[in-house]
Structure 1
Amino acid sequence: MADKNTLARPYAKAAFEYALSEGKLTEWSAMLNFVAQVAMDSQVVELLKAPALSSKDKAALMLDLGQAKLDDQGKNFIALLSEQGRLPLIPVIAEIYEEFKAEQEKSVEAEIRTAFELSQEQQQVLIAALKKRLNREVSLKIVLDKRLIGGVIIRTGDLVIDGSLRGKLAKLAESLKS
């Protein structure tokens, strides 16, 4: 069977291109993220897998659950996914859509793992440094991790910068072994 990303990418691209052409990137982002959350609910997962339910029944289920958050085009998109048997891919579609959106907006979210709370000033320094390095707008997601002892680990896409005390100690231990 094909990889989920491979199957989801054309749908995410189509949704993105439509949203971009209509100037509704944020609205589609909200819709897709909402239905992705619904599609990840354990009960919904089981219903979407149920062979006894037709694609129309599955679409009706998703449309009922997402009624308040979906516009007409969003409803059509859910119906299309259902007809193609792709409703279980909604979380992957939403994730790929967000990648397209971030690329279009030249923005990125950086996860900062730190042992201690960062002040606003420290956060602004990190944002400025990452913005300069990545040439993109940067938003931070701060995660407290007491195992780090001190310092930070920065993750954004494929880039990982380990400035943690734990990482530095591990590098020192490795160099002493040689």
Structure 2
Amino acid sequence: MADKNTLARPYAKAAFEYALSEGKLADWSAMLGLVAEAAGNEEVAQLLSNPSLGSQDKAEILLEICKAKIDDKGRNFILLLSEKDRLPLIPVIAEIYEAFKAEEQKSIEAEVTSAFDLNAEQQKLLVDALRKRLNREVTLKVVIDKRLIGGVIIRTGDLVIDGSIRGKLAKLAESLKS
């Protein structure tokens, strides 16, 4: 079977291009996020993979759960996914859509793992440094991990910057083994 990303990409691209042309990137982002969250729910996922339910029934389940946040075009999109038996791909479609959106808006989310809370000034310094290095607008998500001892680990896309004391100790131990 084809990779989920390969199957989901054309649908994510179509949704992105439509949302971009209509100036509704944020609306579609919210809608896809909600539907992906619903589809990712264990009970809903079981219903979506139930072979005894028809594709229309599966679509109606999702649409009923998310009806307050889905417009007519979104409804049509969900129905199309259902007809093509792609409803289980919605979380992947939403993820790829967000990547297209971030690329368009020249933005990226960076996850910063730190041993301690970062104050506003420290966060601003990190954002400024990452903005300069990545040439994008950066949004920080700070995660606390006491096991780091000190320093930070920054993850954004494929880039990982390990400035933690734990990471430095691991590198030192590795170099001493050689």
Unaligned runs of 5+ in 1: none
Q: Deviations over 1:92-143 (max 9, x none)?
A: 0000000000000000000000000000000000000000000000000000
Correspondence 1:114 to 2:114: yes
> Shift of residue 81 of structure 1?
0.3
| Distance across 2 between alignment mates of 1:177 and 1:38 | 49
| 1:25-48 Cα shifts (integer Å, max 9, x gaps) | 000000000000000111111101
- Segments of 5+ residues of structure 2 without an aligned counterpart are none
How many percent of aligned residue pairs carry the same amino acid? Answer: 72
What residue number does 1:81 align with? 81
Deviations 1:126-171 (A, max 9, x none): 0000000000000000000011000000000010000000000011
1:60 equivalent in structure 2: 60
- For residue 118 of structure 2, what is the amino acid of its counterpart? L
Hey, what's the Cα distance between the residues in 1 that align with 2:91 and 2:6? 13
Distance across 2 between alignment mates of 1:42 and 1:20: 31
1:95 is matched with 95
- Paired residue secondary structure (2:163): strand
- Output the amino acid matched with 2:13: K
TM-score, normalization: structure 2? 0.99
Task: Give the Å deviation of 1:176.
Answer: 1.2
Amino acid at match of 1:8: A
Question: How far apart are 1:175 and its partner, in Å?
Answer: 1.2
Mapped to 1, the partners of 2:17 and 2:4 lie a distance apart of 20
Question: Displacement of 1:174 after TM fit?
Answer: 1.1
* Corresponding letter in the other structure for 1:159: L
Alignment match, 1:162: 162
Counterpart Cα distance in 2 of 1:132 and 1:60: 46
Mapping of residues 13-162 of structure 1, within 5 Å: 13-162=13-162
> Aligned to 1:52, what secondary structure does the other structure show?
coil
After the TM superposition, which segments of 4 or more aligned residues of structure 1 sit over 6 Å from their partners?
none
Alpha-carbon separation, structure 2, partners of 1:46 and 1:170: 43
User: 2 CA distance for matches of 1:96 and 1:33?
Assistant: 11
- Counterpart CA distance in 2 for 1:46 and 1:171 is 44
Q: Partner of 2:160: helix, strand, or coil?
A: strand
